[in-house]
Structure 1
Amino acid sequence: MTELHCWLESIKSWYQPNHSHDFSDLVSVIQQTPQSMMDELDTETGSEALAYWLDACFRLTKYYQHQGYNEQAFGYIQLSYAKLQAIVCEQSYSAELKRWSLKEARSHHCRYSGILPTSVRSTMAARKHTADKLACGVYGVTAAFELKLRCK
């Protein structure tokens, strides 16, 4: 079993109904994410690992925001957003994976931009602007326009 398979089993166990759902355990799992996840995104195991990883980051964002720890919440927002941007910029990934990442980045930005203080939202907007410019370079004008669509 590869390191990624072991990590995937570890994060899946956190989601089991009989698990305590201790968020410190989830933080540990996220901190131990193997680099091979990014190398194997075009595989079934890699894409499943990414889905669990993103969901875990979103759960940690909600958890820390609910606890009033906005800096930690923002950290997990940015961590996941940065991974999605890295996928879009990597030439070796499939166009389908890049499109999915753009869609997730847009959804991710819309979902969480309203829960954070104004200074944090302006930082996110500046980083989103950078992502839009990158997307334009990767996909052309149509995809960049699609990324700029407003949240509904």
Structure 2
Amino acid sequence: MSNYQGMQWATCRALLDVITGTGVLLQAPHEDDVASVDRLGSSLHEADWDRAMDELRARGFVPLEDEDHCATEAGQTADGWSAFLLIVDNHEDAVRADVDVLDYSEAYAALLAEAGVQPGEDVPGGDAVAEPTA
């Protein structure tokens, strides 16, 4: 049994660890995306990503950003789902506000394993450890 909270949308799903304030968002493979009918609106993946982000932000979670201020992609599942790291926007909202870099690395590694993601080498839980910044 998992200690994570799960959320699901049409093409995204999330696992949240409210104890450490970490999470992972999975997005379906890009080849499964569907363009808008009029080509002026969002694709299915874009619209679902926006909805997921709105609901995650309402719970206090935001994407963990890299140095270019882009969501940190953490790897992929065996069936091609892309994984993005999440972090609480206000660390005081986490059950444990005293989480350190090693705790984050272990939390992300456990989340990625639970989600079936093979982590990349430049993400927490992969071969490198970085302190999260929201």
TM interval, shorter chain, is 0.3 to 0.5
Who wins on radius of gyration, i.e. which is larger? 1
Structure that is richer in strand per residue: 2
TM-score, normalized by length of structure 1? 0.34
